[in-house]
Chain A
Amino acid sequence: MAPPVQPREMGRDLARRDGPDKVRGLATYADETPVVAPLYCAIVQATIGRGAVTGIDADVAAALDGVVAVLTPDGAERLADTEDAELAVLQSADVAFRGQVVAAVLAETFEVAREAADLVAVTYRDDGHDVRLSPDRDDLYTPESVNPGYPTDTHEGDVAAAMATAPVTVERTYTTAMYHNNPMEPHATTARWDTSGGGHLTLWDSTQGVHPTRKTVATVFGLDPHQVRVVCPYVGGGFGSKGTPHVNVVLAALAARAVPGRPVRLALTRQQMFALAGYRTPTVQRMQLAAERDGRLTAIAIDVVEQTSRIKEFAEQTGVPTRTMYAAPNRRTTHRLAALDVPVPSWMRAPGECPGMFGPEVALDELAERLGMDPVELRIRNEPEVDTETGKPFSSRNLVACLREGARRFGWADRDPRPGIRRHGDWLVGTGVASSVYPTMAMASSTARVRFAGGRYTVTIGAADLGTGSSTVLPQIAADALGVAVGDVDVLIGDTAHPEASVAGGSSGTATWGSAIVEAAGAFRDKFGAQPPDDAEAEGSIQPNEATERYAMSAFGAQFAEVAVHADTGEVRVPRLYGVFAAGRILNPRTARSQLVGGMTMGLSMALHEQSLVDPRFGHVVNHDLAEYHIASCADVADLQAHWIDERDPHVNPMGAKGIGEIGIVGTAAAVVNAAWHATGVRVRDLPLTLDRVLGLTG
């Protein structure tokens, strides 16, 4: 790892470089890519939950004026690699979940394509489906590992014995709902297949990683990666759902290959995003806490039950944060999965940590209640000296500082712990706290190129900016690494024509790409010195960080919520939500605040509103649009603040920065639920915190 970079531009509050074009509508997103005479692809989705297509009558659809082709399992191109069943589109008649792609139409206009798709008549053999997740199922299984490669189960000491002997215990089950990422920009691709020179595929795709998408698409179609170019200048949000290519990308490419030379546009509808673009599994979390009367935990355990799809496993690492969060000699974490006839779950902002800090952080609040101890103090009392999972010291760990700073800002000190005693007019008011955590990661490989011409430095790297601010922050890193002003640096991202970069995932983007840029800048200065000639150029790649062998690395935070519950109607409001985070050097306060506030808002949304409701008779998400799948509206978000402490960590990367894209959503829901209990005395253990639940009218 390169030595620490001296911050001059890093840490400055700079406006987004892509902001003006975005607010003026000049930024072109994937579906808007200017191409000549595009065709439009519309999807036909399965209306059964499991079985097979027995017949497709596309005659009426094909006869519509403007229809160019109808793609079906019978006629579609055979893919070179169908190992990833989610991506093996139109390769067999099998139907694995309701909403799966069974055919597609290509037409001259979007309207004709959709009308034709509606006219494709599909008959099925219905084998019956099973989409019910329950911890009581007798077919739960143990995955080999959980995302992205953690051990499935961990055991240390004897939790049962500790539970049997401890003076105070909590044993409760908590549930989180099914959630859909729902970025504002739907999953969209413009694709073109050119046959000249052995064939070349261009994908203008909304993705969190152009190079990972290229690799997947090349594999699926049996192409050399150099035959595929993926371009993505802007992303209208992803939240993990554009971190891996979903079926829409493969279908767009397949459709383009069916009409060589003609561009094809494929954008999922909002409703289709609820079946085809990933989601977060619902979770059932059985928690056990055992403690001494002084609050010190003697045991902590979480047993998780969640779902995956029968055709492809995704095991959310819900139990993992419990492994490192608090000290306790006896520990257990387990994951069991039900493989169901459901769409394929995948990454959604802070997989693992987000759902996995709900149960534990509410259970801790219940423990504080039983102990008669302040919940901030209880957390401080269980602060571990080293990472309880690995025994390594933390490179930096400032959870306690976040709790204290948050308590100070929030005005926690005079809190009366008794629930249900504060009334402001018609509203019962309470406050709650929860901790946040997110691991500090970097991907193994990424490369950047620095070029000097005409007095300016241009850095190229196939990175992504999904609204995170990387278009703005990477120039700050490059400027400091080169020792020049940020105004003299351009950074070009989002194109496989640039050097290869990792996915924007795991809050690792800035750390990984920034490290590559630092290496490239170092190589550039080594080669050309401070006065480079025009067209001077050098590359550098992220190097292994030996400090990861010695230290555990995570960002931490604390969130404080004030909740008001209407005494008559049970309506829940969150007048205040404060977060304080310790995430190393904050490279740009403006874009960082946006990330943290955005995460907390999404956490608030999870606490109060979000849930994908599956009808087991049909097997689909019933509330599959943004009118019925509620996310927080502006009126739900009041005084919401993100702060951070000044954390210096020389071990994580040359910038000293920890990832901040995901930690904001972690712990929020628990803080809100804990505050609602403090307001009303009603403990809700199932999300979302709806008014009927807080009134005790629905179990």
Chain B
Amino acid sequence: MRPLDYRAPADAAEAVAAVAERPDAAFLAGGTNLVDHLKLGVARPGLLVDVTSLVPVEITEQGGGLSIGAGVRNADLAADPRVRRRYPVLAQALLAGASGQLRNMATTGGNPLQRTRCAYFQDVSTPCNKREPGSGCSAIGGVTRQHAILGASDACIATHPSDMAVALAALDARVRVLGPGGDRTIPFVDLHRLPGDAPERDTVLEHGELITAIDLPALPMAARSAYRKVRDRASYAFALVSVAAAVDVAGGVVRDARIALGGVAHKPWRAHRAEDALRGATTTDDSYRAAAEAELADAVAQPGVDGGNAFKIPLLTRTLVATLRDLATEEA
């Protein structure tokens, strides 16, 4: 591991300035992903700026919704009674991720910024455009079980690993950011990028920009929401596919829905097409299947030496159908 400098500034503004002035600087929060990358040589920062005590650690009421401080630990967020009652999809997504130990460390601001678990990205002995732009994508034609079926490019087929981020994408969350030029707010669905020809950039954040809070708007239908994660073992595995969904149903008809998909793209995938297909549709498996198929019309399977990931397309359809069916029949 490369020697590096460590700083713990007095406040967030100082932290932002410290990172902004050094191109090789990085923020350190829970460290559950970055510290692994230091050991693996995937990340080689010259300076770590510790922000764990500089960002808010409270969850506060805000305009009928909640504002979650970036320093709130994943375990605390999942246990918050307001989150569990008003946004169960978020609590379920958090608890579906990682392990108890990791959730005790991981933060609200850090979790969405974790990087892909693509095995080639994490192995510095194989080319990777995300780690080393222009070196090529080793995943294409390799082991692709965990890789994308939506929005991938010739440069990168990685998926975003976060469960929490999928729930936030469904909930119309907004991200508060402090940067060298001041504050800004970004719709959560716009935080992450598709890879295009610049897969080294996971998000739209500029160097030195720090997430300070994530806001959840009032969303009454989210009281009837769920996160369904399908993975290769019962616990402690990244999603093959996942569905975050909230529905507003009455009289056998879907009045409104919020849906996001995980494990399928470079970003948490907000399923607008499926939502459009569902509005006004009957609460039947046929409707749900049609919605899934509308969303997945452009899905592209990746061949691979492990058999590839074509199974993800029917699996996601089945999972979305099952999730919506369960939600629609749930006691209101």
Contact = CB atoms under 8 A, between A and B. Distances in A.
A134 to B, nearest CB: 13
B310 interface: yes
Nearest to A64: B3
Nearest to A628: B119
A632 interface: yes
Given A617-B141, A625-B122, 8 more contacts: A111-B1, A111-B3, A569-B319, A570-B315, A623-B143, A627-B117, A636-B233, A698-B308
A196 interface: no
Contacts of A426: 322
Contacts of B126: 618
Interface string A545-586: 000000000000000000000001111010000000000000
A115 interface: yes
Interface in B171-218: none
A695 B307 CA distance: 14
A115 B307 contact: no
B321 interface: yes
A569 B119 contact: no
Interface of B: 1-3, 41, 117, 119-120, 122-126, 138, 141-143, 230, 232-238, 240, 305-308, 310-311, 314-315, 318-319, 321-322
Contacts of B314: 695, 697
Interface residues of A, number: 41
B235 A633 contact: yes
A609 interface: yes
Contact of A118 (B3, B41, B307): B41
B136 to A, nearest CB: 11
Contacts of B315: 569-570, 691-692, 695, 697
Interface class of chain B by DSSP: loop
Given A114-B1, A613-B143, A623-B143, A697 B233 contact: no
A609 B233 contact: yes
A615 interface: yes
B253 to A, nearest CB: 23
23 contacts: A47-B125, A111-B3, A114-B1, A115-B3, A118-B41, A426-B322, A569-B322, A570-B315, A609-B232, A613-B305, A615-B138, A615-B143, A617-B142, A618-B125, A622-B142, A624-B123, A625-B122, A627-B238, A633-B235, A635-B236, A691-B232, A691-B315, A695-B314
Interface of A: 45, 47, 111, 114-115, 118, 271, 426, 568-571, 573, 608-609, 613-618, 620, 622-625, 627-628, 630, 632-636, 690-692, 695, 697-699
A573 to B, nearest CB: 7
Contacts of A569: 230, 315, 318-319, 322
Contacts of B122: 625
A115 B119 contact: no
Contacts of A620: 125
Contact of B234 (A633, A692, A695, A698): A633
**What 3 A-B pairs are tightest by C-beta distance, nearest first?**
A692-B311, A635-B234, A635-B235
Nearest to A688: B232
B233 A616 contact: no
Given A118-B41, A615-B143, A623-B143, A699 B307 contact: yes
Nearest to A634: B235
A620 B314 CA distance: 30
B203 to A, nearest CB: 22
A618 B311 CA distance: 25
Contacts of B233: 608-609, 630, 632-633, 635-636
A364 B232 CA distance: 28
Contacts of A622: 119-120, 123, 142-143
B272 to A, nearest CB: 23
A630 B234 contact: no
Given A115-B3, A616-B305, A618-B138, A568 B232 contact: no
B230 A691 contact: yes
Nearest to A45: B125
Contacts of A636: 233-235
Contacts of B230: 569, 571, 691
Contacts of B143: 613, 615, 622-623
Nearest to B322: A568
Contacts of B237: 630, 633
A698 B142 contact: no
A690 B307 CA distance: 12
A608 B123 CA distance: 25
A275 B40 CA distance: 16
B134 to A, nearest CB: 18
A630 B318 contact: no
